[in-house]
């Protein structure tokens, strides 16, 4: 339990001892004005009705029932109509900070009861290029994966590729059509090895896609190619394998650039042999039934609900059939406590029905199935983000653009340094990559995932505000203090490690120290509702506290050597917390920028 949870727990206990209902859930907040203390709760006010007493009297009784010493509270006061304000003991805070500084994990203990999570994320439909719509699942999934793992859970990251759908029928069709008949489908001239032309996959896909829209006969032929593939036609399978391989090379390049890897990349194709068995079993068990030649799972408890189709009239299986086979496989293979699906909110009906069906079919007692849904990335016009010509924006060009813009910012910033530029051309490029990609990730993660957000390079690369750039800059600024040879190994790492305590005499030191100690809470919040923006909010608050501290408390010019060491320890812990926090979001930091 983190510190706030302990406090809430103690308050709930105290409330129950006064006769409060057993489900009492105290709310604890940090007062805006630090002179009111470190924590405040309105618990006494909320208990006035159930207990039939005056809030201030309840507050007095609550304080009496709390073990203030065990909670490290120095002072408990009743304010206004009955708020309880608590102030923590400075020497306890100081010791906690020193302990965090002396710990590789920054004082974050692994969870007492680790769970096994399977995170299903990214999952692009390959054979078409990755586009802006893939950012959210990829970035949110990666952040959740990293955070869960850091907290000590066991996590499997599975990239459930769409590698078995109609898009392959399109490519195979385009490919078979050949160069003679439709040279326009193949932008480069044929060469000896036919598969080399798969380099133009994206173009082939787009052209065939256009043809299917113009000509229903082409659409039928594409469907026929897909059916032949699903039926196991040798030539189709052979082509498919090669196309898939080529696709993976392409997407792996992007994942490499994003700094991410997966434990599994099974993809829909992995399950195709199981699909007929799934449908048969659902029919045998009476979970699914025939209707107008198709097979579906019906939700009779909700007469308005549409059925979940698992087989079409023509015998083809569907997205849902594969997802059912996938759940069964995952349960047998991994025995997870939770499966998280990081997927667009437009699929919420699908997941709702999928989870219900899976539970009827497999039981799944005690297994959490959660659709971690998210909103849409919008353009300036408030509509889904598109290029000027109305095409979807390729992910690669998006990354390139962000990195290019970051390079101009980094260059201008470096050129403007009072003592002249510090970075070589390569360093600038490396910093620009970290800043550009960090900006895209952070802009996404800092949104409440369920809302839509407007994609704006200017906003995401701003040096001030809740951006990765600001956080990376804050980190580099702290590190620059150590660049002058302070601390161990000339890098300053772990300067606070051997301290017994960190003194918090100045209000800005205290505010920073208190914030540093709330890292654990921020991480727990990320996991409790799978929202990485709890962590971005925390990092933003931390960077702001540091900024005030830095303005008000001279570090290298502190009045005494002891004060200087003490403040350096706070700086070091801040830099490490920023770095660790950004790392859990998949964002790199740099030493100089
Ligand atoms: N490939 C799918 C899409 O692009 C997302 C897959 C999500 N995962 C799943 N198990 N259904 O829409």
pLDDT by residue (tens digit) across 134-156?
999 999 999 999 999 999 999 99
| Token duo for residue 247 | 């696709």
443-479 burial: b if 16+ Cβ within 10 Å, else e: bbbbbebeeebebebeebbbeeebbbbbbbbbbbbbb
244-282 burial: b if 16+ Cβ within 10 Å, else e: bebbbebbeebbeebbbebebbbbbbbbbebbeebbeeb
Q: Is residue 255 over pLDDT 90?
A: yes
Task: For residue 369, report the distance from its CA to the centre of ligand 1, in Å.
Answer: 15
Give 73's pLDDT tier (boundaries 50, 70, 90).
Answer: very high
Check if 158 has its Cβ closer than 6 Å to any atom of ligand 1.
Answer: no
Q: Is residue 64 over pLDDT 90?
A: yes
How much is the average pLDDT of 62-90?
96
Give the helix, strand, coil percentages of the chain, each rounded to 5: 55, 10, 35
| Residue of 122, 136, 160 with the most ligand 1 atoms within 8 Å of its CB, for mutation | 160
**What are the start-end ranges of the E strands in 242-391?**
288-291, 294-297, 308-311, 338-344, 368-374, 377-378
Of 180-194, 224-238, 531-545, the poorest mean pLDDT is in 180-194
Task: For residue 275, report the distance from its CA to the centre of ligand 1, in Å.
Answer: 17
Closest CA to 442 of 456, 427, 428, 426: 456
Check if 339 has its Cβ closer than 6 Å to any atom of ligand 1.
Answer: no
Residue 131 CA neighbour count, 13 Å, CB half: 15
Check if 160 has its Cβ closer than 6 Å to any atom of ligand 1.
Answer: yes
Check if 567 has its Cβ closer than 6 Å to any atom of ligand 1.
Answer: no
**CB of 169 within 8 A of CB of 375?**
no
Closest CA to 308 of 269, 359, 259: 359
Give 490's pLDDT tier (boundaries 50, 70, 90).
Answer: very low
Report the pLDDT value the prediction gives residue 390, as an integer from 0 to 100: 75
**DSSP 3-state of 193:** coil
Check if 162 has its Cβ closer than 6 Å to any atom of ligand 1.
Answer: yes
The mean of the pLDDT values for the chain is: 92
Task: For residue 159, report the distance from its CA to the centre of ligand 1, in Å.
Answer: 9
How far apart are alpha carbons 385 and 454 in whole angstroms?
8
**CB of 570 within 8 A of CB of 100?**
no
Task: For residue 323, report the distance from its CA to the centre of ligand 1, in Å.
Answer: 9
Report the pLDDT value the prediction gives residue 489, as an integer from 0 to 100: 45
Of 171-185, 214-228, 525-539, the poorest mean pLDDT is in 171-185
Q: Is residue 130 over pLDDT 90?
A: no
Sign of CA dihedral 382, 387, 392, 393: negative
Report the pLDDT value the prediction gives residue 516, as an integer from 0 to 100: 98
The radius of gyration of the chain's CA atoms, rounded to the nearest angstrom, is 28
Report the pLDDT value the prediction gives residue 183, as an integer from 0 to 100: 62
What percent of the chain clears pLDDT 90, i.e. is strictly above it? 78
Report the pLDDT value the prediction gives residue 250, as an integer from 0 to 100: 84
How much is the average pLDDT of 314-333?
96
| Interacting residues of 92 by C-beta distance below 8 A, sequence separation 6+ | 72
**DSSP 3-state of 182:** coil
The string of pLDDT tens digits covering residues 348-386 is: 999 999 999 999 999 999 999 999 999 999 998 888 888
Contacts 24+ apart (CB under 8 A), 513-517: 513/93, 513/94, 513/97, 513/570, 514/38, 514/88, 514/93, 515/541, 515/542, 515/545, 516/97, 516/100, 516/542, 516/570, 516/573, 516/574, 516/577, 517/3, 517/93, 517/96, 517/97, 517/100, 517/107
Domains of the chain: residue spans and CATH: 3-88 (3.30.1360.70), 166-251 (no CATH), 395-584 (1.10.730.10)
| Residue of 134, 156, 347 with the most ligand 1 atoms within 8 Å of its CB, for mutation | 347
Phi first, then psi, for residue 386 (nearest 5°) are: -135, 165
How far apart are alpha carbons 166 and 228 in whole angstroms?
11
Check if 343 has its Cβ closer than 6 Å to any atom of ligand 1.
Answer: yes
How far apart are alpha carbons 294 and 386 in whole angstroms?
36
How much is the average pLDDT of 319-335?
98
How far apart are alpha carbons 328 and 282 in whole angstroms?
13
Q: Is residue 80 over pLDDT 90?
A: yes
Q: Is residue 236 over pLDDT 70?
A: yes
How far apart are alpha carbons 163 and 125 in whole angstroms?
6
As a dihedral over the C-alpha atoms of residue 279, residue 282, residue 287, residue 288, rounded to 10 degrees, the angle is 20
Report the pLDDT value the prediction gives residue 494, as an integer from 0 to 100: 62
**CB of 380 within 8 A of CB of 452?**
no
Give 192's pLDDT tier (boundaries 50, 70, 90).
Answer: very low
pTM of the model: 0.93
The string of pLDDT tens digits covering residues 426-485 is: 999 999 999 999 999 999 999 999 999 999 999 999 999 999 999 999 999 999 888 766
């Amino acid at each position: 339990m983190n510190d706030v949870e302990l406090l809430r727990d103690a308050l709930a206990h105290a409330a129950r001892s006064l006769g409060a209902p057993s489900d009492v859930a105290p709310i604890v907040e940090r007062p805006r004005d630090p002179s009111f203390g470190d924590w405040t709760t309105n618990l006494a006010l909320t208990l006035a009705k159930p207990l039939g007493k005056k809030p201030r009297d309840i507050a007095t009784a609550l304080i009496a029932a709390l073990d203030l010493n065990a909670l490290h509270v120095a002072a408990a006061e009743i304010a206004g109509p009955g708020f309880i304000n608590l102030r923590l003991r400075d020497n306890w805070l100081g010791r906690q900070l020193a302990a965090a500084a002396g710990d590789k994990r920054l004082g974050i203990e692994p969870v007492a009861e680790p769970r096994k999570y399977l995170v299903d994320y990214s999952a692009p439909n390959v054979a078409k290029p990755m586009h802006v719509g893939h950012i959210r699942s990829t970035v949110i999934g990666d952040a959740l994966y990293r955070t869960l793992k850091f907290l000590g859970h066991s996590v499997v990251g599975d990239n459930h590729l769409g590698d078995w759908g109609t898009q392959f029928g399109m490519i195979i069709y385009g490919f078979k059509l050949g160069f003679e008949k439709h040279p326009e489908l193949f932008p480069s001239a044929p060469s000896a090895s036919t598969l080399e032309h798969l380099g133009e996959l994206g173009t082939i896909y787009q052209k065939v896609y256009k043809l299917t829209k113009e000509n229903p006969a082409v659409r039928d032929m594409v469907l026929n190619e897909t059916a032949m593939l699903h039926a196991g036609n040798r030539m189709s399978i052979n082509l498919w394998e090669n196309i898939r391989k080529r696709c993976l090379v392409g997407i792996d390049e992007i994942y490499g650039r994003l700094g991410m890897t997966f434990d599994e990349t099974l993809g829909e194709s992995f399950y195709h042999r199981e699909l007929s068995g799934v449908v048969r079993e659902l029919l045998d068990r009476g979970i699914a039934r025939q209707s107008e030649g198709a097979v579906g799972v019906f939700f009779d408890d909700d007469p308005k609900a549409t059925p979940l189709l698992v087989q079409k009239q023509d015998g083809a299986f569907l997205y849902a059939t594969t997802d059912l086979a996938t759940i069964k496989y995952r349960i047998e293979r991994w025995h997870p406590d939770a499966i998280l699906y990081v997927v667009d909110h437009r699929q919420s009906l699908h997941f709702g029905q999928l989870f219900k069906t899976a539970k009827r079919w497999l039981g799944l007692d005690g297994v959490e199935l959660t659709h971690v849904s998210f909103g849409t990335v919008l353009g300036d016009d408030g509509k889904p983000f598109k290029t000027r010509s109305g095409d979807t924006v390729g992910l690669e060009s998006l990354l390139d653009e962000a990195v290019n813009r970051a390079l101009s910012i980094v260059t201008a910033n470096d050129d403007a340094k009072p003592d002249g530029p510090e970075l070589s051309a390569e360093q600038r490029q490396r910093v620009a990559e970290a800043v550009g990609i960090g900006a895209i990730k952070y802009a996404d993660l800092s949104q409440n995932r369920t809302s839509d957000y407007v994609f704006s390079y200017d906003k995401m690369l701003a040096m001030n505000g809740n951006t990765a750039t600001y956080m990376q800059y804050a980190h580099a600024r702290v590190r620059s203090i150590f660049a002058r040879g302070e601390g161990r190994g000339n890098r300053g790492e772990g300067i606070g490690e051997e301290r017994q305590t960190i003194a918090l005499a100045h209000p800005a030191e205290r505010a920073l120290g208190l914030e540093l100690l709330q890292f654990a809470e921020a991480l727990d919040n990320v996991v409790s509702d799978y929202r990485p923006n709890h962590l971005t909010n925390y990092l933003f608050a931390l960077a702001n506290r540091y900024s005030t501290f830095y303005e008000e408390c001279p570090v290298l010019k502190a009045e005494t050597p002891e004060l200087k060491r003490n403040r350096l320890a706070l700086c070091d812990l801040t830099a490490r917390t920023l770095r660790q926090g950004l790392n859990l979001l998949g964002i790199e930091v740099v030493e100089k920028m």
